Amino acid sequence: MLDQLKPVDNRRLYQQIADQIRTLIRNGDFAPGTRLPPERDLAQQLGVSRPSVREALIALEIEGAVEVRMGAGVYACAPVRRSHAEVAVAGGMGESPTELMQARSAIEGVVIQLACVRVTPQTLQPVRDALAAMRADVREGRQPLASDRAFHVAIATMTGNAVLVRLVGELFDERHTPIARRISVRAESQQTWAAALHEHEAIVAALEHQDVLLAQTAMRAHLDSSRQRWVEDSRQEWS
């Protein structure tokens, strides 16, 4: 009976999708220079979401299996035989950005509830400082990634729970993985950072009033909007 069992595939979904597309390219189903089916068609055929397909295509782009031509589609490249080292690098591209933002919303939605009940002028000051630093970054055209991180970690610090502080910081730092960095290059702009700053201001206002429901709503709305800007907003360019 045991010989009928199959190994459990615990790889990230986008890696499994990338494997299927890569196999088609290597088997000649898509010759070099051939345009792959639109993202929406791939998603329907595979029975997965479009963001998962996009993550798979980005992973394949990083390793050189496809070329993404913004506004024109995704094209197959000549198959490249990968070394064991290259396979290891591909496996270390990072968490799914979509799943990452879902996890952040779940955790930080609870974190801000705990932070609300510990609001004092002293505990809130680091959050205000991070917001001010982000405002200056946006105004002067700098990427405010460090001040963005400081803002979310400062809110976690208000809980007094070191484990939550660590989790919030570690989840934020997943933005530095290869797949997340590639998405950021395409998705981030002064306009998206300005929108994030406005959402941070709403979070601080809710904290100042110690309005737990409003603060949680503001945080989750911010992270949901961030997910849409980061992972989904350029969807039409890939079709």
Residues 154 and 185 occupy one common structural domain: yes
Q: How far is CA 53 from the centre of its chain?
A: 14
Residues 12 and 80 occupy one common structural domain: yes
Overall number of domains in the chain: 2
Query: How high is the pLDDT of residue 80?
Result: 64
- Where in the sequence is the domain holding 147, given as residue range(s)? 97-238
Query: How high is the pLDDT of residue 61?
Result: 92
Question: CA–CA distance from 131 to each of 1, 165, 172, 225, 229 (Å)?
Answer: 60, 18, 16, 18, 20
Query: In the chain, count of helices (H) and strands (E)?
Result: 12, 2
Q: Cα(175)–Cα(223) distance, rounded to whole angstroms?
A: 13
pTM for this prediction: 0.85
Contact 95, 89 (CB under 8 A): no
Sign, CA torsion 158/114/138/238: positive
Q: Cα(97)–Cα(234) distance, rounded to whole angstroms?
A: 14
Query: How high is the pLDDT of residue 208?
Result: 96
Structure tokens at 222: 């911010």
Strand partners, 113: none
Q: Cα(234)–Cα(206) distance, rounded to whole angstroms?
A: 31
CATH code for the domain of 14: 1.10.10.10
Query: How high is the pLDDT of residue 1?
Result: 36
> What does each of the 239 residues of the chain score in pLDDT, given as a tens digit?
344 434 435 578 899 999 999 988 888 888 899 999 998 999 998 889 888 999 999 999 998 999 988 778 899 998 766 554 345 445 578 999 999 999 999 999 999 999 999 999 999 999 999 999 999 999 999 999 999 999 999 999 999 999 999 999 999 999 999 999 998 888 889 999 999 999 999 999 999 999 999 999 999 999 999 999 887 665 445 55
Beta strand ranges found along 188-234 (DSSP E): none
Residue ending a domain, choose from 76, 91, 106: 91
Structure tokens at 119: 């609001």
Structure tokens at 188: 């981030």
Query: How high is the pLDDT of residue 84?
Result: 43
Residues 87 and 101 occupy one common structural domain: no
For tokens 């309005």, the residue is 211
Contact 11, 92 (CB under 8 A): no
Residue ending a domain, choose from 65, 91, 117: 91
Sign, CA torsion 199/169/232/188: positive
